Amino acid sequence: MIKNYWNKGKKQKIVTIICALVLLIALFVLRDDYQPALLFVRKFIFIILLSGIILFLGLRKFRKSTSTGGRLGILALLVVFFGILYVVGWHFKMYDYMKTYNVFNHLNRVEINELPLTQNERIQPLRNVFSMANESVGETKDVSLPHLVRIGDENKWTMAIQPTEKYVWQGMTDNTEEVFAVSSTTPFPRFSSENRIPVTFSIGESLKFSRNTYNAVVQRFNIFQLFTMEPSDTYYMKNDSGQWVQVVSLIKWKGFLFPYPTFGGVMVIDNGEHDFNDYMERILIGKGTYISPENMKNHIYLTRQNTLAEKVSRLQAESLKFLGGFSDPLPWNMETAVKIPEMPKDQNQQPYVTDFDFSDTETGAFSGLYHWFGLEPVGDERTSLSFSVFVPADGTDKMYYYNHAAKKQGYAGVSAMPLKVKESRKEYDWTANTPVEFRPYIKDIAGKKRMFFMGTVSSISDTDSKQFDGSATPDLVLIDSEYRDVVWIDVKHPSQWDKTVYDQLNEAWRSSEKIGYYFVEETKEIDIARHVIDSIKAIPQVDKKAEEIERLQKQIDSLKASKN
């Protein structure tokens, strides 16, 4: 058709060339819009090829067949084939099963026999931080989802204050002007003064067109990356020179038969206002500096950091169900099959980003941020803790897991915790309040490492299930996963938590484990009325005779020494 049109004359040729050029430019400039389609083809390449080939061969056979019965037979065969493909692959979820098995086979698994300790415990759950941040911004601003990241030696919740998505015009014209960076360990998070940092990003998650983070990152991809990479979560952190940057976690799809997602490095977007040159760069080749997983060790701020997409770590943790073999998670086996427990309402789901100290274990793992999962058996009524999974949050190609089930520890899992907390304080209005986000708290108390879950009591709005209202100093609980006892702790005094736990549980531990006393009860008196003593103006009595005697004694001693 185009050839006929081309041969008609000069005018038609010019029109054809102009149309082709416009199409080419559109294909180049709009690749951020159709990239999801390219990625879709990559993700399901095997199924698409298989279906395409079967359909092509079937239809060819159908057309060549002369008899009506033959044609009906071919149609029936095609229907049966696609029916089986759908039922086995999707209805019974065998496609996901194979994908997870692929993840399991390519995972660098390390079993650890000693739990790491937790450090720098975060007090607020993610949803509380998000609610409090939203309380601190105006009508035309949005807050991006908080992420726990390492800033220097401190863990902070960081999020951007960006133009709201409600008003399109601001999304096209305004920049992200501020970033929240709130310490995760303080009982009193503030969203003002030094925690509200003025920094300009011309590219943001809520901004429109080429200024959108997703679009800018996709435009930066090369031709191969367009087919294999997928931008994921966006983090805000300081780089090695102290400048705030946006770090976009990338997911890379690997494999042919059943492609699976892996960590694909990060794209780093610098701060600063954009001029016309930047605008052209954004439109044509996007913005950002790609750092591959292999090169991340060359950037100190990206090591021991939280940059791994949760989608990837969830699949990695879930793949541990294959520890008992390929067929073990099938419905008639299920001996070691595990699941990631889903928490009710709109709580932040696992993984919980937690700071672990591996220094006293022999694993060689770094101490810092990890994605932690507490896996439980697949049945809804089974809530024991089967595995603790530690996925390095900086994308290091390793996954550490501790097998509680094999050690027959009988610990209770995360899903068992909410009811224990409710049971421990019956006077609470549990219809309005919910204990949420049970993250691990592992401490060396009374002679051994003990595993607790730390939960925070949040009020969840009746009208908006995403609205979590936690006060700045929420109620905190620690639950001993072995003894199942709930200890209510004072959020304002983290240094006393271990002591509080010991006070409540020491008798149970001592009678059960035959251990001695720890936390010896001695009171050290500090600052008791010392100023009163100091304020008494007493003149010390001087014994002049004693001074004279001492002087003479020294003379005698020196004379005796000279004779010798």
User: Distance between CA atoms of 247 and 265, rounded to whole angstroms?
Assistant: 10
Residue 42 or 196 with smaller CB distance to another protein: 42
Residue from 14, 28, 57, 63 touching another protein (CB under 8 A): that is: 63
CB atoms within 10 A of CB 80: 10
* Cβ contact 269:213 at 8 Å: yes
Stretch that binds another protein, among 36-44, 111-119, 446-454, 479-487 (CB under 8 A): 36-44
Residue 37 or 561 with smaller CB distance to another protein: 37
Question: Is residue 40 part of the contact set for another protein (CB under 8 A)?
Answer: yes
Least spacing, CB of residue 145 vs another protein, in Å: 17
Residue 184 or 212 with smaller CB distance to another protein: 212
Least spacing, CB of residue 50 vs another protein, in Å: 12
CA nearest neighbour of 215 among 202, 224, 200, 197:
202
Residue 36 or 325 with smaller CB distance to another protein: 36
Residue 64 or 493 with smaller CB distance to another protein: 64
Stretch that binds another protein, among 41-49, 131-139, 157-165, 166-174 (CB under 8 A): 41-49
Residue from 7, 10, 37, 241 touching another protein (CB under 8 A): that is: 37
Burial class (CB in 10 A: 0-12, 13-18, 19+), 442: buried
Going by C-beta distance under 8 Å and a sequence separation of 6 or more, which residues neighbour residue 155?
120, 122, 148, 149, 183, 184, 185, 355, 369
Residue 342 or 550 with smaller CB distance to another protein: 342
Tokens of residue 130, six digits: 């998000």
Site mask, another protein, residues 13-32, x = CB under 8 A? --------------------
Residue 59 or 549 with smaller CB distance to another protein: 59
Pairing of strands 399-403, 109-111: parallel
Least spacing, CB of residue 149 vs another protein, in Å: 25
Residue from 31, 44, 366, 488 touching another protein (CB under 8 A): that is: 44
Stretch that binds another protein, among 33-41, 104-112, 283-291, 422-430 (CB under 8 A): 33-41
Instruction: Give residue for tokens 């960006």.
Output: 162
Residue 99 or 211 with smaller CB distance to another protein: 99
| Bridge partners of residue 455, in order along the sequence | 477
The rounded radius of gyration (Å) of the Cα atoms in the chain is: 32
Site mask, another protein, residues 155-184, x = CB under 8 A? ------------------------------
Stretch that binds another protein, among 40-48, 233-241, 285-293, 525-533 (CB under 8 A): 40-48
Residue 87 or 515 with smaller CB distance to another protein: 87
Positions 382 through 441 that interact with another protein (CB under 8 A): none
Residue 50 or 197 with smaller CB distance to another protein: 50
Question: Is residue 43 part of the contact set for another protein (CB under 8 A)?
Answer: yes
Long-range contacts formed by 309-312: CB under 8 A, 24+ apart: 309/232, 309/233, 309/249, 309/250, 309/251, 309/261, 309/263, 310/233, 310/351, 310/371, 311/232, 311/251, 311/261, 312/232, 312/251, 312/261, 312/262, 312/263
Question: Is residue 253 part of the contact set for another protein (CB under 8 A)?
Answer: no
Least spacing, CB of residue 431 vs another protein, in Å: 35
Residue from 5, 28, 86, 256 touching another protein (CB under 8 A): that is: 86
Residue 44 or 483 with smaller CB distance to another protein: 44
Least spacing, CB of residue 96 vs another protein, in Å: 8
CA distance to 26, 245, 248, 336, 443, per residue, from 121 (Å):
50, 25, 25, 31, 11
User: Distance between CA atoms of 526 and 521, rounded to whole angstroms?
Assistant: 16
Pairing of strands 399-403, 433-445: unpaired
Residue 14 or 59 with smaller CB distance to another protein: 59
The helix-helix angle for 276-285 and 10-29 (nearest 10°) equals: 100
Positions 90 through 109 that interact with another protein (CB under 8 A): 90, 95
Residue from 19, 21, 36, 345 touching another protein (CB under 8 A): that is: 36
Tokens of residue 432, six digits: 């309005």
Least spacing, CB of residue 36 vs another protein, in Å: 4
Least spacing, CB of residue 485 vs another protein, in Å: 42
Question: Of all residues in the chain, what percent are helix, strand and coil, respectively (each to 5)?
Answer: 40, 25, 35
Q: What are the DSSP E strand ranges found in 418-475?
A: 433-445, 448-460, 468-469
Least spacing, CB of residue 221 vs another protein, in Å: 15
User: Distance between CA atoms of 244 and 271, rounded to whole angstroms?
Assistant: 6
Residue 90 or 167 with smaller CB distance to another protein: 90
CA nearest neighbour of 213 among 232, 228, 241, 192:
232
Q: What are the DSSP E strand ranges found in 345-384?
A: 352-357, 368-377
Q: How many residues does the structure list for the chain?
A: 564
Question: Is residue 47 part of the contact set for another protein (CB under 8 A)?
Answer: yes
Stretch that binds another protein, among 34-42, 185-193, 243-251, 356-364 (CB under 8 A): 34-42
Q: What are the helix (H) ranges across 444-541?
A: 497-513, 530-535
SS3 370: strand
Tokens of residue 129, six digits: 């931080």
Question: Is residue 451 part of the contact set for another protein (CB under 8 A)?
Answer: no
CB atoms within 10 A of CB 403: 17
Stretch that binds another protein, among 42-50, 133-141, 166-174, 459-467 (CB under 8 A): 42-50
Positions 460 through 519 that interact with another protein (CB under 8 A): none
Which residues sit at the interface with another protein, rule CB under 8 A? 36-37, 39-40, 43-44, 47, 59, 63, 86, 90, 95
